[in-house]
Amino acid sequence: MSQPKVLVTGATGFVGEAIVFKLLVGKSFTPVAAVRAESRLKGLCKTVSWEMGSSDTSVLFDGIQVVIHCAARVHVMNETAQDVLAEFRKANVVGTLNLARNAARSGVKRFIYISSIKVNGERTKPGRPFLSSDKASPLDPYGISKFEAEEGLKKISLETGMELVIIRPPLVYGPGVKANFLSMMRWLEKNYPLPLGAVSNQRSIVFIENLVDLVIVCINHPAAAGRVLLVSDGTDVSTTQLLQRMAIALGKKDRLLPVPAQLLRIVGSLTGRTHLIQRLCDSLQVDISETCKTLNWTPPVSMDLALQRTARHYQDSQRK
């Protein structure tokens, strides 16, 4: 019997590529990688050329039983678009729903959508983590576009019978991570003093291997169909604790200065860095108990081990 074929969009991205490699290692499914440029995946598995938002999806679904849709327009540094929300909608809503409709017409059984916790909102109150059943409250263009895509996908699923699984991760980290998490490692590696030694928030994050493990489970788990699933490492930390644990993983002594969070917020407001300070000081927790119970799943990698693997990869890359 041939292995089920799984199409992964955004296969050159951080999450998509990790999913393809996991599928290759597991050998229970045959991955097909949808890519828009040259990729190191070519030669390892079948690849098809496709760009998010393209109306031509005829090359994508030959023999495909499951789609894992990772491709998305994410935050753009130095954004120049006049209508930012329109640009996010074009890729993340129109592109996603076009893909899903064609997938359903082609007989795809299940569509797994990698959404975002930003659909729930930007922050949580102390002791009140987000639940999958919470009313959506997206605030920025990215979160709004992800929510609108979810709603459209639910309608397509009802109309066509194609099973839908929605996964909402918080910040994803791991070997090769970029953006703010990479900056954090650089600060710690260089022993910069950081005014983040007294932040008592709580944040949920997810290691790339834990997220990928859940995605693989969702490919054929019968209880995943029709679900909105939240995911994290199962351990929440303050910004201070995360920096302390990351410093240990890097073999460094942290230089965290105990500046009160309220003072940081004032400085952020005066310097035009309000959003950055909010991300560092606000809480954002997710409750994954329903995900774990529904799928009999637990995150396979502890946060400390995940941070060690991330730190080791970063330090190895610096030596090259």
pLDDT tens by residue, the chain, 320 residues: 568 889 999 888 899 999 999 998 877 888 888 887 666 776 676 777 767 766 566 678 888 999 999 988 886 545 566 788 888 898 899 989 999 999 999 999 999 999 999 999 999 988 899 999 999 999 999 999 999 999 999 999 999 999 999 999 999 999 999 888 999 999 999 988 999 999 999 999 999 999 999 999 999 999 999 999 999 999 999 999 999 999 999 999 889 999 888 888 888 888 888 888 888 889 999 999 999 999 999 999 999 999 999 999 999 988 76
Q: How far apart are CA 197 and CA 314, in angstroms?
A: 23
Instruction: Report if residue 22 sits inside a domain.
Output: yes
Q: Are 256 and 184 in contact (CB under 8 A)?
A: no
- Per-residue pLDDT at 248: 95
Domain of residue 180, residue span? 175-205+234-320
Q: How far apart are CA 54 and CA 196, in angstroms?
A: 44
35's enclosing H/E stretch is strand 30-35
Residues 38-89: pLDDT tens digits?
Answer: 667 766 767 777 677 665 666 788 889 999 999 888 865 455 667 888 888 9
Instruction: Report if residue 46 sits inside a domain.
Output: yes
**Domain match, 256 and 164 both:** no
- Per-residue pLDDT at 58: 66
Domain count, the chain: 2
CATH of the domain at 160: 3.40.50.720
The token pair that represents 261 in the structure block: 């969070």
Closest to 212 measured CA to CA, from 23, 12, 4, 10: 23
Would you tell me how many other CB atoms lie within 10 Å of the CB of residue 17?
A: 22
- Per-residue pLDDT at 256: 92
- Given the residues 113, 142, 173, 314, select the one marked as catalytic: 142
**Domain match, 13 and 161 both:** yes
**Domain match, 84 and 184 both:** no
Q: How far apart are CA 165 and CA 263, in angstroms?
A: 42
- Per-residue pLDDT at 77: 47
The token pair that represents 289 in the structure block: 């108990």
Q: How far apart are CA 79 and CA 264, in angstroms?
A: 26
CATH of the domain at 194: 3.90.25.10
**Domain match, 164 and 17 both:** yes
The answer to whether residue 173 is catalytic is no
252 CB burial (10 A radius; 0-12, 13-18, 19+): middle
The partner residues of 111 in beta bridges, in order of sequence, read 67, 164
